[in-house]
Amino acid sequence: MIIPLSWMMMVRNNIKFNVAYFRLASFIFIIETLIALYINDSIIRPYIGDVLVVILIYCFIKSFLDVKVLPTALFVLLFAFTVEFLQYLNIVEKLGLQSSKIATTIIGTSFSWIDILTYIVGIIIVISVEYFFQKEK
């Protein structure tokens, strides 16, 4: 995946720690970990977990960078799409990581169009919440 030069320049000039985003990212990470370890159902793990993962990545980025909402959200969405495409290519097996529980959980093992949809839903939630709170300020 090629990161646009303009985004890289924006990142370099906007390093700033944000406690609120870091706390939210930490909280979502704990939820995601609990889902991965203890929930094996047909709704929460495959759908809610995928919605939350893009929100987690977004919050993690915003924890350390003071960057605009839309470019960051689109970057996260492209990242999620890239990971999903790598699943389509069976990257876990090609890297010889199929026996690693951590690798198969984090990277995933099977492509799904539903996952693409859940990532889009997660990013729509991010953008909606961000613009709601920006409007309130």
The tens digit of pLDDT for each residue in 29-50 reads: 999 999 988 999 999 998 999 9
- Better-predicted residue by pLDDT, 109 or 39: 39
User: What is the Cα–Cα distance from 28 to 41, expressed in whole angstroms?
Assistant: 19
Residue 25's closest CA among 52, 65, 3? Answer: 52
The answer to whether residue 93 scores a pLDDT higher than 70 is: yes
What H or E segment, with its residue span, contains residue 75? helix 69-88
The answer to whether residue 137 scores a pLDDT higher than 80 is: no
- Please give the pLDDT value at position 2: 57
pLDDT (tens digit, 9 = 90+) per residue, 38-89?
999 999 998 999 999 999 999 999 999 999 999 999 999 999 999 999 999 9
Q: DSSP H helical segments within 1-137, as ranges?
A: 5-12, 19-38, 49-64, 69-88, 91-94, 101-107, 113-136
SS3 29: helix
Percent share of the chain, pLDDT over 90 = 75
Kindly report which listed range (16-30, 54-68, 89-103, 121-135) carries the lowest average pLDDT score. Answer: 89-103
Are 64 and 15 in contact by the 8 Å Cβ rule? The answer is yes
User: What is the Cα–Cα distance from 135 to 137, expressed in whole angstroms?
Assistant: 5
- Please give the pLDDT value at position 102: 87
pLDDT, averaged across the chain: 91
Are 130 and 69 in contact by the 8 Å Cβ rule? The answer is yes
pTM of the model: 0.86
